[in-house]
């Protein structure tokens, strides 16, 4: 494909957009709307996933140290805990802190006046890298010398894992469904524009124009429409996300969304790529009907 042919394809692609402005506007509007719905849902899913991950990292396994160990020996167990692969952090929690925390929860702290912190064992609060392997990590902790007991909040961890799985599955299904709908609507929108130009295509076929020569201007047109829709959807998504985070969500809830500054590049890349694929494949599938022998 030489430079002059490529210029012709792009010239015809641009001409088709402005020559059939209404159809082009409809195509861009439809793709933009689908991208915004897909993007909004994806951003919600990303934020939910981030919240679940944060909750996972804050969930803890409590490791009680053997009471027969000295304070120094009890502290040294932390070195062994940190060597376990799935351990993110092991926080020392001495018996004095455990005792004080227990007394604060009592309605009448005077009930513990005759007791000393020695009734509580030294502990470690262990935070995990991945809660999916909490059971395996708990077994590794129980096997360590100097560990008396390991307490795992299994119900909470299982709930977090279930939420993560549901969010992941629903996100994938919903996004794929929107992609199929976008492609279908784009195909039908371009089909209307192509129908208006069926006589032009027929004449080109009669004079012996190659199928590729006829097809490529429509592919370029779909490509340009998809990129335009991707860019428009990106700027609208950025505006809507920031406005929602700053003006609507923040005054009524302490939930902090991920800054759009951390997400702009993947969002832009996905929008442009999706717009490109929907535009090109929509054009290819549509023009194929008119190029059949």
- Mean pLDDT score, 273-287: 80
pLDDT at residue 293 greater than cutoff 60: no
Cβ-based neighbours of 56, under 8 Å, separated by 6 or more: 128, 130, 131, 157, 160
108: left (phi over 0), alpha (psi -120 to 50) or beta: beta
Domain-wise residue ranges, the chain:
3-54+160-290, 60-152
Do residues 32 and 205 touch, judged by C-beta distance below 8 A? no
CB atoms within 10 A of CB 134: 23
Read off the pLDDT of residues 11-22 as tens digits, 9 standing for 90 and up.
Answer: 888 887 887 777
Distance CA 156, CA 51 (A): 14
Name the β-bridge partners of 64. 123, 149
Measured CA distances, 238 to 16, 40, 91, 167, 257 (Å)? 30, 10, 39, 22, 13
Nearest to 221 by CA among 248, 252, 254, 196: 196
Distance CA 5, CA 197 (A): 21
Read off the pLDDT of residues 198-237 as tens digits, 9 standing for 90 and up.
Answer: 777 777 778 877 777 878 888 888 888 889 999 999 999 9
Read off the pLDDT of residues 33-88 as tens digits, 9 standing for 90 and up.
Answer: 888 888 888 888 888 888 877 777 777 889 999 988 988 999 999 999 999 988 98
The highest-level CATH class for domain 60-152 is alpha beta
Read off the pLDDT of residues 105-137 as tens digits, 9 standing for 90 and up.
Answer: 776 666 677 777 788 899 999 998 888 888 899
Name the β-bridge partners of 90. 126
């Amino acid at each position: 494909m030489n430079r002059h042919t490529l210029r012709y394809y792009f010239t015809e692609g641009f001409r088709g957009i402005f020559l059939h402005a209404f159809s082009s506007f409809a195509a861009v509007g439809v793709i933009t709307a689908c991208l915004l719905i897909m993007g909004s849902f994806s951003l919600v899913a990303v934020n939910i996933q981030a919240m679940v991950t944060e909750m996972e990292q804050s969930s803890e396994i409590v490791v009680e140290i053997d009471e027969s160990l000295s304070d120094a020996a009890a502290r040294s167990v932390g070195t062994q805990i940190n060597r376990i692969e799935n351990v993110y952090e092991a926080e020392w929690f001495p018996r004095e802190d455990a005792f004080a925390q227990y007394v604060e929860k009592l309605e009448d702290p005077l009930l513990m006046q005759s007791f000393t912190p020695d009734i509580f064992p030294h502990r470690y609060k262990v935070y995990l890298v991945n809660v999916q392997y909490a059971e395996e990590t708990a077994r590794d902790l129980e096997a360590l010398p100097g560990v008396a007991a390991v307490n795992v909040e299994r119900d909470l961890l299982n709930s977090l894992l279930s939420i993560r799985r549901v969010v992941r599955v629903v996100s994938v299904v919903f996004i794929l469904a929107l992609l199929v709908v976008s492609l279908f609507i784009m195909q039908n929108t371009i089909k209307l524009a192509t129908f208006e130009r069926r006589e032009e295509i027929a004449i080109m076929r009669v004079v012996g124009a190659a199928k590729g020569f006829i097809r490529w201007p429509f592919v370029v047109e779909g490509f340009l429409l998809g990129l335009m829709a991707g860019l428009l959807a990106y700027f609208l998504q950025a505006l809507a996300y920031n406005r929602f985070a700053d003006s609507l969500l923040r005054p009524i809830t302490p939930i902090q969304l991920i800054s759009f500054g951390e997400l702009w590049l993947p969002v832009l890349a996905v929008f442009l790529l999706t717009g490109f694929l929907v535009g090109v494949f929509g054009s290819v599938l549509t023009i194929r009907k008119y190029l059949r022998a």
